[in-house]
Amino acid sequence: MAPFNQKMAPHDLKLINKLSEIALNIRKNSLIMTTKAGSGHPGGCLSCADILAAIYFHQLRYDPEKPDWEERDRFILSKGHAAPALYAALAMAGFFPTEELLKLRKIGSILQGHPDMRKTPGVDASTGTLGQGLSIGVGMALAFRLDNRPNRVYVLLGDGELDEGQVWEAAMSAAHYRIDNLTAIVDYNRQQLSGCIEKVMNLEPIGEKWSAFGWHVIKIDGHNMKQILDALDEAERVRGKPTVIIAYTVKGKGVPMLEKSFLSGDCKYHGTPLSEAELAKALEELHG
Amino acid sequence: MAEKLSGTRDAYGETLVELGSENRNIVVLDADLSPSTKTILFAQKFPERFFDVGVAEANLVSVAAGLASAGKIAFASTFSVFGVEKTLNQFKQSVAYPNMNVKLVTTHGGISVGEDGSSHFCIEDIAVMRSLPNVTVIIPADAVETRAATRAIAEKSGPVYMRLSRPKTPQIYEDGYKFQGRDLKFEIGKSITLIEGGDVTILATGVMVAESLQAAQELARRGIRAGVVNFHTIKPLDKEAILRAAANTGAIVTAEEHTVLGGLGGAVAEVLVEEDPVPMARVGINDTYAESGPWRELFAKYGLTSADIVKAAEKVLKRKAK
Ligand SMILES: Cc1ncc(C[n+]2csc(CCOP(=O)(O)OP(=O)(O)O)c2C)c(N)n1
């Protein structure tokens, strides 16, 4: 059967508008879901919404009717705390009814606080402990190459997550094995849980680090849909080495109050949802 | 009776600040979780003695070992699941084996983490940590005991693992570390008998001590005299207290927010089987992964309430009668 997501001609305006609309929806749902759940991580959901829209509604091959379809591409949300954004994308893609979204974090729900591949259709890897997704992706990519299969693997990482040594172990091995069916994307919002990365753990020069590890590096504005699509295309063309897309993003993107709060150095909304009143205001103000 | 709730991690953070003023050798490390573990209180007061290593738990533990080897008393904190499970080898190799003065104090232990779900639960730590020679393993029953325990482990040289909780939990002690007016002293390795038992004794640790006290009340209503002993230290294990309870009541129930495999129940069973095999039952999580949800609901679903303890007590009493 034909894959659900036929790639459209690259990057015409219609496509970009469609994807931006979807990203907005992911943001909206992430905020509602975390507020209704009473816990969760809104900031890091908003920074990766555009990337998720591009991945799930343009780049990835999958079939929501057959979540285990062997020919599908894989997506790993290594920064698992952004699960609400992933769930919103999966629901829109048709993996499960959107009503499920409001059961996030409730007892008995298919939507766990962090991604669970055994409970949620469409989730390709269980994450939540930071630092493991890229290694899992390396394993998947090696298996696909062994079997001469065309499946591609995408891994989305947080920048704070890059503090984990295992990320660099995985980075080294991906380059060593010349894996080119794997694309890593770093949600470079320059914030982690307890502060901005310059304060907690400096990552610069980030591009040089990845290229020293043998990766092809692309830096983009992670909220510019055309740049996201172009980078994903470029990554697909690179041969003999893995590609990392460093997406410069804004934590809390789209909600002025959140953007301001993070910029001021306050990390409260990393792991605290908006109150009902804040949510109402945020939904009014939300923009792409 | 309205229960009073208080935060073990708040008590920990506040006590660290006190200790920091008293002793310049105290240093504190964290792995990008200081607002959650409450080491942020120490960080604000003593920024030069606080080290955030970022989201890098393996590094956290080994850097703490380095500080300790140069004479510091190093408190290292993160969530239990990461502090124990991401660093087991680092903890063994750089802390436990060379007997370093490192206190690995983790918060968000057990499943009372709640909504974050299984990726963030830690129900294996007692089993893992008590298997390491040199390591002291402590789970305070409430916030009051956490203050006493934090002071005690700072004074004790050598590796310590202490587990605290995310939610505010029932406070069983009066402020100043008293139980029903009785003054207590926190001694590492010495359990605290809260209620003397006649028919059965419940040995509990952590938040399950509060559940056990409730269970004892319910059992009393049913005419069963149940004792409750707080095992705030799981290693070194208070063997004497276990054998005394076995001798006095002839039936034992253990209760812990941990898998039933290898935790307090396992430790108590090891002692009883070798020395006085009275009937016993273990209350804990039954070799399964839990799920996201409000913690009280999870306790009910996964068998960690006073009702589960009552059931277990009635079961062992039947075996005792045979
Ligand atoms: C191994 C591990 N350590 C700690 C945590 C707790 N934690 C959750 S999110 C987070 C900060 C992550 O920062 P970043 O990767 O930059 O995420 P973002 O800012 O994109 O939300 C931390 C420390 C975790 N989930 N896993």
Name the 3-class secondary structure at B288: coil
CA–CA separation, A136 and B114 (whole Å): 26
In A, minimum Cα distance to B80 occurs at A129
Q: Identify the architecture of domain B5-170 in CATH.
A: 3-Layer(aba) Sandwich (3.40)
Q: Is the pLDDT of residue A240 over 60?
A: yes
| pLDDT 10s digits, A79-110 | 999 999 999 999 999 999 999 999 999 999 99
Q: How far is CA B19 from CA B22, B86, B166, B233, in A?
A: 5, 28, 22, 21
B236 prior amide bond cis, ω within 30: yes
Interchain CB distance below 8 Å, B114 and A160: no
CA dihedral B51, B54, B55, B58 (to 10 degrees): -50
Model confidence at A288, pLDDT cuts 50, 70, 90, reads: low
Task: With respect to residue A5, please indicate whether it lies within any of the assigned structural domains.
Answer: no
Quote the pLDDT of residue B175.
95
Q: Which residues of B touch A82 (CB under 8 A)?
A: none
pTM for this structure? 0.95
Cα–Cα nearest to B115, from A56, A158, A105, A69? A105
A205 prior amide bond cis, ω within 30: yes
Share of chain B above pLDDT 70, in %: 99
**A284 burial type by CB count under 10 A (0-12 exposed, 13-18 middle, 19+ buried):** exposed
Question: Which residues contact residue B62 at a Cβ distance below 8 angstroms, ignoring those fewer than 6 apart?
Answer: B90, B94
Q: Is the pLDDT of residue A1 over 60?
A: no
Let me know if the fold of B5-170 is the same as that of B189-321: yes
| pLDDT 10s digits, B132-159 | 999 999 999 999 999 999 999 999 999 9
For ligand 1, atom 16: residue with the closest CA: A160
Q: Hey, where are the domains in chain B?
A: 5-170, 189-321
The whole domain housing A221 covers 13-287
Task: With respect to residue A1, please indicate whether it lies within any of the assigned structural domains.
Answer: no
Cα–Cα nearest to B153, from B110, B190, B104? B104
Q: Which residues of B touch A190 (CB under 8 A)?
A: none
Model confidence at B54, pLDDT cuts 50, 70, 90, reads: very high
Q: Which residues of A touch B32 (CB under 8 A)?
A: 160, 163, 192-194, 200-201
- Portion 35-54 of A in contact with B at CB < 8 A: 37-40
* E strand segments, chain B: 5-6, 26-30, 50-52, 73-79, 102-107, 136-138, 160-163, 169-170, 178-179, 182-183, 192-195, 200-204, 226-230, 233-235, 252-259, 280-285
Measured over the CA atoms of residue A34, residue A39, residue A40 and residue A41, the dihedral's sign is positive
Model confidence at B3, pLDDT cuts 50, 70, 90, reads: confident
For ligand 1, atom 10: residue with the closest CA: A193
The CATH number of B189-321 is 3.40.50.920
Choose, out of B62, B108, B119, the residue to mutate when testing the contact with A (most A CBs < 10 Å): B119
CA–CA separation, B151 and B185 (whole Å): 11
Ligand 1 midpoint to CA A94 (Å): 28
| pLDDT 10s digits, B24-53 | 999 999 999 999 999 999 999 999 999 999
In this complex, is the C-beta atom of B89 within 8 Å of any C-beta atom belonging to chain A?
no
In this complex, is the C-beta atom of B270 within 8 Å of any C-beta atom belonging to chain A?
no
Question: How many domains does chain A fold into?
Answer: 1
Ligand 1 midpoint to CA B117 (Å): 15
Model confidence at A2, pLDDT cuts 50, 70, 90, reads: very low
Tokens linked to A283: 């939904």
In this complex, is the C-beta atom of A161 within 8 Å of any C-beta atom belonging to chain B?
yes
Interchain CB distance below 8 Å, B114 and A37: no
Question: Which residues contact residue A170 at a Cβ distance below 8 angstroms, ignoring those fewer than 6 apart?
Answer: A134, A135, A137, A138
One-letter amino acid at A54 equals: A
Ligand 1 and A50: CB distance under 6 A: no
Interchain CB distance below 8 Å, A201 and B40: no
Q: Is the pLDDT of residue A4 over 90?
A: no
Share of chain B above pLDDT 90, in %: 98
Name the 3-class secondary structure at B57: helix
Number of other CB atoms surrounding residue A17 within 10 Å: 12
Positions of B marked active-site: 57
Quote the pLDDT of residue B189.
98
* CA angle B302–B307–B312, rounded 5-degree value: 85
* CA angle B215–B216–B219, rounded 5-degree value: 85
In this complex, is the C-beta atom of B120 within 8 Å of any C-beta atom belonging to chain A?
yes
- Tokens 């003054």 appear where? B183
Quote the pLDDT of residue A3.
43
Ligand 1 midpoint to CA A44 (Å): 9
Question: How confident is the model over A240-255, as a mean pLDDT?
Answer: 98
Q: What is the ipTM of this complex?
A: 0.93
| pLDDT 10s digits, B212-249 | 999 999 999 999 999 999 999 999 999 999 999 999 99
For chain A, the three-class secondary structure string (H helix, E strand, C coil) is CCCCCCCCCCCCHHHHHHHHHHHHHHHHHHHHHHHHHCCCCHHHHHHCHHHHHHHHHHHCCCCCCCCCCCCCCEEEECCHHHHHHHHHHHHHHCCCCHHHHHHCCCCCCCCCCCCCCCCCCCCCCCCCCCCCHHHHHHHHHHHHHHCCCCCCEEEEEECHHHHCHHHHHHHHHHHHCCCCCEEEEEEECCECCCCEHHHHCCCCCHHHHHHHCCCEEEEEECCCHHHHHHHHHHHHHCCCCCEEEEEECCCCCCCHHHHHHHHCCCCHHHCCCCCHHHHHHHHHHCCC
Q: How far apart are the first and last CA of chain A?
A: 34
Query: For all residues of chain B together, what is the average pLDDT?
Result: 97
Number of other CB atoms surrounding residue B157 within 10 Å: 12
Chain center to CA of A159: 12
Of A109, A128, A163, the CB nearest to B120: A128
Model confidence at A8, pLDDT cuts 50, 70, 90, reads: low
Interchain CB distance below 8 Å, B58 and A165: yes
CA–CA separation, B52 and B71 (whole Å): 19
| pLDDT 10s digits, B273-300 | 999 999 999 999 999 999 999 999 999 9
CA–CA separation, A242 and A183 (whole Å): 6
Name the 3-class secondary structure at B187: coil
| pLDDT 10s digits, A49-82 | 999 999 999 999 999 999 999 999 999 999 999 9
C-beta separation of B181 from B214 below 8 A: no
| pLDDT 10s digits, A115-126 | 999 999 999 999
Interchain CB distance below 8 Å, B35 and A193: yes
Q: Is the pLDDT of residue A10 over 60?
A: no
Q: Is the pLDDT of residue B266 over 80?
A: yes
Interchain CB distance below 8 Å, A106 and B53: no
- Beta strands at B73-79 and B102-107: parallel, antiparallel or unpaired: parallel
Min Cα distance B53 → chain A (Å) is 7
Question: How confident is the model over B124-138, as a mean pLDDT?
Answer: 98
Tokens linked to B233: 């230290």
C-beta separation of B103 from B153 below 8 A: yes
For ligand 1, atom 18: residue with the closest CA: A44
